[in-house]
Amino acid sequence: MSQAHVVSYSEPFKGNADNFIDDTVSFIRKYMSPRGNIVIPVSGGIDSRVTYELFKKAIDPRRVFPMHIDTGYMRLIRGFEEPELVAKTFKSAPNFEVINARDRFYKSTFGIEDAEEKRKGYQGTYNAVITEVLEKHNIVTGSDGTIGPDIAETKGGEYKGVKLGKLKTQHNVGNDPFEEKIEPLASISKDEVRIVGRALGIPEELSNRQPFPGPALSIRIPGIIDTDKLNTEKRANDIVEKGVEYHFKRKYGKPYIYDSRTGERIPFQYFAATMDSSIDESNSLGEEVGEYVKGLVGRKLIHCDVLKNKATGMKVKDDRFERTYEPMVLMTVTGEVDSTIIKHIGETVPEEFPVSRVLQEIKIGQGPYNISIRAVKSRNALSASPIILPRFEGIARELKRECVGINSICVDTTPKPPATIEYE
Ligand code: XMP
């Protein structure tokens, strides 16, 4: 695939959403060819929706072709398939279409163990589907919800003072299927997109939605994916989202806390990951980690195993962060341990040992999968700290009741860095 000619809006967000909207609308008008049309893949999330709204403002909406790909990896949201919900949101958009490409995505991702290979399989199908839409409508230009951190984490370099090596292949950065691409959000981060989204009149439940990655649930299923594991992940993710929102609603009257001045939403992200329960019996790393953890918590009963599946992380190498892809530690602690110590373990174990993250077991069952509950606080996704809620116990009970084949339900206690927010 040839490289797209990309034009990116590069001015930083200066705090005034109306000015940002005016400036990006002028930017779009400057770079859109006078009679050309544009294809915008929309995921249902805020970034691509804001992109769509900016184009709709800048040019005749009949020249804008929003499309949603049903990859089969989209979420269940309170029991509803996400593509159905996206279709409802865009029902008044003149050229909107949903493309069912589930079988093609399964074919290019099932049976692959390595995270980057899986990502490439997903990305290849994603681009092929968009190329077909471009050809069908004879369009060469595209845009999507690419934001600043996506670019920084894919290409390396620096973003807001943090030095980054190449972290992962973001599906929407580089290798674009378009001949030319116009990126109005390339200079801003998630919290800023939310502020712009509100100014554009996007309803709060949408502008404040938690981020959802382009490769969707495929990057929350470490190891080989098949239909059963994917269905378990969909169900588990819906239960975790619902449970965390319930906690915040009871405590604060809303499913999240939102700071309208900074654009920060707490929690930033919360979801389930589904991995194989297989343990790597071949090395003594689990024992070594167990000894180290005992040194931190004293005389508690601790057991640590190293899982066979690997997950992504980021660690400093030659003064910059580089991507890591290492196994996860499953830790069982008998008795109460203060959450600050649990967080300290999550932070230091991946720094001291060749592992990507620490998962603290909170419920035991029997079966081929482990489910990890991950909730994080973050401003811009470049760093994140784990949130550990008492409510996780109730969520774990529901997961055990509702999901078949669960060996262990655990809480991911690792910050970013040294882990990443997603698993792959
Ligand atoms: P990580 O896992 O790198 O994620 O800490 C940082 C933020 O980016 C989202 N994310 C992605 N978004 N394509 C996307 O569009 C991707 O490949 C991708 N990977 C991670 C993630 O959900 C988090 O908000």
Q: Which atom of ligand 1 is nearest to the CA of 153?
A: 3
Residue 156 has pLDDT above 80, yes or no: no
Nearest CA to ligand 1 atom 22: 213
- Mean pLDDT within 11-23: 96
Q: What percent of the chain has pLDDT over 90?
A: 81
pLDDT at residue 169 greater than cutoff 80: no
Is the bond into 415 cis (omega within 30 degrees of 0)? no
Chain-wide mean pLDDT for the chain? 93
CB within 8 A of 368, min separation 6: which ones? 276, 277, 405, 407
Write the residue with the smallest CA distance to atom 3 of ligand 1: 420
Mutate to test the pocket of ligand 1, among 421, 423, 424 (most ligand atoms within 8 A of CB): 421
Residues 165-190: what's their mean pLDDT?
80
Nearest CA to ligand 1 atom 20: 213
pLDDT at 379 over 60: yes
121 vs 320: which has the higher pLDDT: 121
Q: What is the pLDDT of residue 274?
A: 98
pLDDT of residue 146: 92
159 has a pLDDT exceeding 60 = no
Q: Which residue has the higher pLDDT, 263 or 381?
A: 381
C-alpha 378 to ligand 1 mean position (Å): 12
pTM of the shown model: 0.91
Whole-number Å distance, alpha carbon 325 to ligand 1 midpoint, is: 15
C-alpha distance from residue 225 to each of 73, 108, 234, 240, 331 (Å)? 11, 11, 12, 20, 24
Cα 422 to ligand 1 centroid, rounded to whole Å: 6
153 pLDDT higher than 70: no
Indicate which atom in ligand 1 lies nearest the CA of residue 384.
5
Kindly write down the DSSP assignment for every residue of 107-170, as one continuous string. Answer: HHHTT--SHHHHHHHHHHHHHHHHHHHHHHHT--EE-----HHHHHHHH-EEETTEEE------
- Nearest atom (ligand 1) to Cα of 269: 24
The atom number, within ligand 1, closest to the CA of 145 reads 15
Tell me the β-bridge partners of 386: 376
- Smallest CA separation from ligand 1 atom 11, residue: 213
The confidence score (pLDDT) of residue 206 equals 87
The answer to whether 312 and 168 have CB atoms below 8 angstroms apart is yes
Residue 25 confidence class, pLDDT cut points 50, 70, 90: very high
pLDDT at site 43: 94
Q: Quick: pLDDT tens for 274-322.
A: 999 999 999 899 999 999 999 988 767 889 999 999 999 999 888 888 8
Cα–Cα distance for residue pair 272/67, rounded to 1 Å: 27
Q: For atom 19 of ligand 1, which residue has the closest CA?
A: 213
Could you identify the atom of ligand 1 that is nearest to the CA of residue 312?
2
Give the mean model confidence (pLDDT) for residues 237-248.
97
Distance from Cα 360 to the centre of ligand 1, integer Å: 23
From the CA of 219, give the closest atom in ligand 1. 19
Q: Whose CA is nearest to atom 18 of ligand 1?
A: 213
- Ligand 1 mean position, distance from CA 314 (Å): 13
Ligand 1 center from residue 48 Cα (angstroms): 14
Instruction: Return the ligand 1 atom nearest residue 212 CA.
Output: 22
- The upper half-sphere exposure of residue 111, i.e. CA atoms within 13 Å in the direction of its Cβ, equals 4
Instruction: Extract long-range pairs of 1-5: CB within 8 Å, 24+ residues apart.
Output: 1/127, 1/175, 1/176, 1/177, 2/179, 3/174, 3/175, 3/176, 4/142, 4/176, 4/177, 4/178, 4/179, 4/180, 4/181, 5/179, 5/180, 5/181
Closest residue by Cα to residue 239 from 271, 267, 214:
271
With a Cβ cut-off of 6 Å, ligand 1 is lined by 150, 153, 170-172, 211, 213-215, 219, 269, 381, 416, 420-422
**Does residue 47 have a pLDDT over 90?**
yes
Distance 365 CA to ligand 1 centre (A): 30
Give me the pLDDT at residue 208, please: 86
pLDDT band at 403 (very low <50, low <70, confident <90, very high): very high
What would the pLDDT profile of 336-376 be if each residue is shown by its tens digit? 888 899 999 999 999 999 999 999 999 999 999 999 999 99
Closest atom of ligand 1 to 190 CA is 24
